[in-house]
Amino acid sequence: MKHDPNCIFCKIIQKEIPAAIIFEDDDVLAFMDISQVTKGHTLVIPKQHQKDIFELTTETAASLYQKVPLIAQALKDTFEPIGLNIVNNNGEAAGQTVFHYHMHLLPRYGKGDGFG
């Protein structure tokens, strides 16, 4: 598994810094975003350090996305949103601040829930 010693998400994967983990297997980790835009805001990441969609391999993309419906369902059961956005920023110009590929899962609760 390729890790980057300077990457905050690689540190979370290696349990060097704590996070509220909601799903983990050999390839994928899902944990609560430290800054909750909406209740249950979750990040889903591959354990392989690949910085953005342009570095993401098809194998990593497949194993990652395969877990997303399960994680979304767990968020739905736990937080009871009425909708959910999936957001992925690639490159500084697109708003990416952590350069380890990640998807934001944003449970939605209607107008005034903090996003959009």
Structural contact between residues 54 and 109, judged by C-beta atoms closer than 8 angstroms: no
Beta-carbon contacts of residue 100 (< 8 Å; ≥ 6 apart):
4, 7, 8, 9, 10, 45, 49, 50, 51
3 catalytic? Reply is: no
Q: Which does 60 bind (CB under 5 to 8 A by kind): ligand 5GP, Zn ion, none?
A: none
Taking CB under 6 A as the criterion, which residues in 46-85 touch ligand 5GP? none
Going from the C-alpha of 106 to that of each of 5, 95, 112, the distances in angstroms are: 28, 16, 14
Instruction: Assess 37 for contact with Zn ion (CB under 5 A).
Output: no
- The CB-of-52 to Zn ion minimum distance in angstroms stands at 11
Question: Residue 44's closest CA among 84, 108, 101?
Answer: 101
Segment lying near ligand 5GP (by CB under 6 A), choices 33-41, 53-61, 71-79, 105-113: 33-41
Instruction: Assess 31 for contact with Zn ion (CB under 5 A).
Output: no
The one catalytic residue among 41, 49, 100, 102 = 102
Looking from the CA of 87 toward its CB, the CA atoms found within 13 Å total: 17
Q: Which of 10, 13, 19, 44 binds ligand 5GP (CB under 6 A)?
A: 19
Please give the positions annotated as active site: 102
Binding footprint of ligand 5GP on the chain (CB under 6 A): 8, 19, 31-35, 43, 89, 95-98
